[in-house]
Amino acid sequence: MAVLKIVPKLYQEKIPEKLKEEISLVTTGEAKYYNRLYKFFQYTDIQCTADINYETRKMYMDSLEKEDISEKYKAELLSLFDRLKIENMPDVYSQGKPFSVEQEFFKQDKLFLLYVPNKKKAQSFRQVVDKNDLLWDLTRIHSSQLVRQTKILLCEILNMDKVQRHRRYFLEPLKALIRFCDKYGIDDIEEMEQADENRFYLYLNKESEIIKKQASKIVEFARRTLFLTDSETNWRACIWYMDRFQFDKSRINASSPVKSLSFINIYEKENRWYLQLYAKYLVGISDLSLSNIRNTISFISQFLKYLDGQSKKVTELEIQDIEGYVSVLDKSDIKYSTFNRYITHMHTFLQFLKMKNIEVLKFYPERFLKKGFSEHNERSVPEKTIAHLIKELPAFPEHLQLMYLILFCTGIRKSEVCTIKSGAFYSQGNENWMRIYQSKMRREKVIPVPSLLVGLVNDYEKKYGIKNGEYLFKNKKGGAFNGQTFSNQMIRECKVRG
């Protein structure tokens, strides 16, 4: 084995003192290690380990390949080189400071995650067998926007409090997503359409099972992260995430919150942008609830998808296109009231565009609206069924027992029982009340209740340590209990007990 026995004075003179100190920290005085490092660094302009990057490491690997030493010894020397970089890292990024694209490391065109400036996280990458997997060569990406988004997503993943074996479930699929976007000319992940997403899943056929399983999750993660972290709202994004905005409580149904608005199935970009302009108005200026906005967008999206099939832009509409769409609606199995909503939403959308000085067809919705009779939805429950349910109620989970009793005694909506807060039940003299905010009606309501119900609620609050103002019934994250979850649990318990 070829090993330098001494350190020539010439080598030492060409090595900066700081770098000498850093080398001694990891070589522990063993000549077979520090000799080789001294010999390598004399031909570089490296002043200290902070200057070492992926290119430096590659140069060192190339120098080892020229030597007549075993592969095992090469691996040992390369591992030592990585230790030299990692163990001399300053603690500035190890003190809870999150990663940011503004940091020097992320301004590079080649990001080598083994050298990410956080000693603890860099150490976690040492267990990766093939270190080439840790290189993100952004010089191969043609879109500067895609490069910027890649760096943002890498920062978000590195900021996760996860061990390396879990972090790879994000890193490997993300690398595949970036390769796909670059190959097919997708410059902005936020503007990926449904067709792009479907093509991405086909693109992964030859990838590992880990990447295939995480494919849909990484697309969602990328879209959400970019939309929420951009300095300015990207109104052209195909999916808007509502966490970016702050809404008055009257616009939110906490038991079934609208988490996002989607424009992903509209392929004509001009038409999609017109709908996004309308949605921007509905979200930012109107006082509609988010659930109503989502429904409105859904109705108009159906019309725009029809235009996709006709290869028509909204600005090219003719009355024959409206008639064709109405004919399609006529053939569908929908009630007259739903049919009329499709027509009125389409008309309101076109009126909005005219207000924005966008030339579109003017049509009169009255020509197409249908007449009909209002139907009464029979929602009463037979007394026999109620009696059987109350008899079986003690066997139900405790939260379902109390939720049902509140519904039974007050007649409030399912969504409202899910959003009751501690302190809503109270007594005044001989009278007992429940105060609740009705999001659908946008008002507070006070309802008389039996004293026994107030006692049951108070006992429940004490038993589970529910503080005043907290939700009485919580989801796993402490938010309001989900209305659909409540329905599913009640149905399951009822089926079990006949």
Nearest partner of 153 among 172, 139, 129, judged by Cα: 172
pTM of the entire predicted model: 0.85
* Rounded-to-integer distance, Cα 129 and Cα 254, Å: 46
Contact 114, 131 (CB under 8 A): yes
pLDDT reported for residue 224: 98
Q: 229 by DSSP, 3-state: which?
A: helix
Neighbours of 230 (CB within 10 A): 14
Listed as own residue / partner, the contacts of 314-318 with beta carbons closer than 8 Å and 24 or more positions apart are 314/270, 314/271, 314/274, 314/350, 314/353, 314/358, 314/360, 315/270, 315/358, 315/359, 315/360, 317/350, 317/360, 317/361, 318/361
Q: Read off φ and ψ for residue 6, nearest 5 degrees.
A: -135, 165
pLDDT reported for residue 269: 96
pLDDT reported for residue 5: 41
Percent of the chain having pLDDT more than 70? 95
Q: Report which residue type is found at 165.
A: R
* Rounded-to-integer distance, Cα 490 and Cα 485, Å: 9
pLDDT reported for residue 12: 52
Beta strands in 143-267 (DSSP E): 239-241, 260-262
Q: 112 by DSSP, 3-state: which?
A: strand
* Rounded-to-integer distance, Cα 349 and Cα 355, Å: 10
Q: Per the structure block, which two tokens stand in for 104?
A: 């020097």
Contact 268, 307 (CB under 8 A): yes
Helix (H) or strand (E) holding 390: helix 383-392
Q: 434 by DSSP, 3-state: which?
A: strand
* Rounded-to-integer distance, Cα 126 and Cα 452, Å: 63
pLDDT tens digits, 55-109: 999 999 999 998 888 999 999 999 999 999 999 988 665 556 789 999 999 999 9
Please, which residues have CB within 8 angstroms of residue 13's CB and are 6 or more apart in sequence? none
* Rounded-to-integer distance, Cα 305 and Cα 190, Å: 20
Q: 429 by DSSP, 3-state: which?
A: coil
* Rounded-to-integer distance, Cα 421 and Cα 316, Å: 52
pLDDT tens digits, 155-186: 999 998 877 778 889 999 999 999 999 999 99
Q: Per the structure block, which two tokens stand in for 110?
A: 């080649």
Contact 59, 27 (CB under 8 A): no
Q: Read off φ and ψ for residue 81, nearest 5 degrees.
A: -60, -40
Rounded alpha-carbon distances, angstroms, from residue 321 to 80, 312, 344, 356: 71, 9, 16, 22
* Rounded-to-integer distance, Cα 228 and Cα 232, Å: 9
pLDDT reported for residue 438: 79
* Rounded-to-integer distance, Cα 335 and Cα 319, Å: 24
Contact 219, 192 (CB under 8 A): yes
State the 10-residue block means of pLDDT for the chain, 498 residues long: 43 75 80 79 90 94 90 91 91 71 93 93 90 94 96 95 81 95 96 95 85 91 97 96 93 92 96 98 94 96 96 96 95 90 96 96 92 75 88 94 95 92 92 87 87 95 94 93 95 88
